[in-house]
Amino acid sequence: MKMLIVSALVCAMMVLTRAAPPPEEIPQNETESHLVKRSTDCSLGWSLLGGRCYHYNPRHMTWARAEKNCQSLGGNLASVHNIQQFSHVQKLIFKATHENDPAWIGGSDAEEDGQWFWSDGTPFRYQYWCHGEPNNFFGDQHCLQMNFSAK
């Protein structure tokens, strides 16, 4: 499976403690990340929505490496289950980049084409993506990205 290198990633953490800042020493080829974690408050640099803390990391990496980075912080790439989460992640991307840079989130169909799942194990039911997405274009898009724009 080919992995794209993107300029952002989104992590989702679902733990009951405070979110810790990302580690300082991460290899150079990494991507940006949003990190989400179950909590009642978030550490500096994190954003709270619905009991989850989100964080954006501007390093470049593949989807698999982005997921491992999130796991090292106690979470997963972000899953999107409603329009509030979708909008929140979009705003985090724009606030951090001031552009429409793509960000990895936790959706993948790497195990079986067309059978999307979230890396955190929650059901993949959200359907309000851009028209026709996710579509696994030419059988080569097995990991989900989103950005600030509607395109």
Q: State residue 141's pLDDT score.
A: 66
Q: Please indicate, yes or no, if residue 21 is contained in any of the structural domains.
A: yes
Total domains in the chain come to 1
Q: What is the token pair recorded at 92? A: 């985090």
Cβ(31)–Cβ(59) below 8 Å: yes
Q: Please indicate, yes or no, if residue 6 is contained in any of the structural domains.
A: no
Q: State residue 67's pLDDT score.
A: 93
- pTM (2 d.p.): 0.70
Q: State residue 19's pLDDT score.
A: 37
Q: What is the pLDDT of residues 97-145, one digit of tens each?
A: 888 778 899 988 888 888 888 999 999 898 877 777 776 665 566 788 8
Q: Please indicate, yes or no, if residue 77 is contained in any of the structural domains.
A: yes
pLDDT at residue 33 tops 80? no
* Interior angle at CA 136, CA 73 and CA 146, nearest 5: 45
pLDDT band at 8 (very low <50, low <70, confident <90, very high): very low
Amino acid at residue number 19: A
User: What is the secondary structure of 54-104 as a DSSP string?
Assistant: E-B---BB-HHHHHHHHHHTTEEE----SHHHHHHHHHHHHHHHSS---EE
**Domain encompassing residue 108:** 11-146
Q: Which CATH number covers residue 65?
A: 3.10.100.10
pLDDT band at 2 (very low <50, low <70, confident <90, very high): very low
Mapped onto helix, strand or coil, the DSSP state of residue 48 is strand
Q: Distance between CA atoms of 120 and 117, rounded to whole angstroms?
A: 9
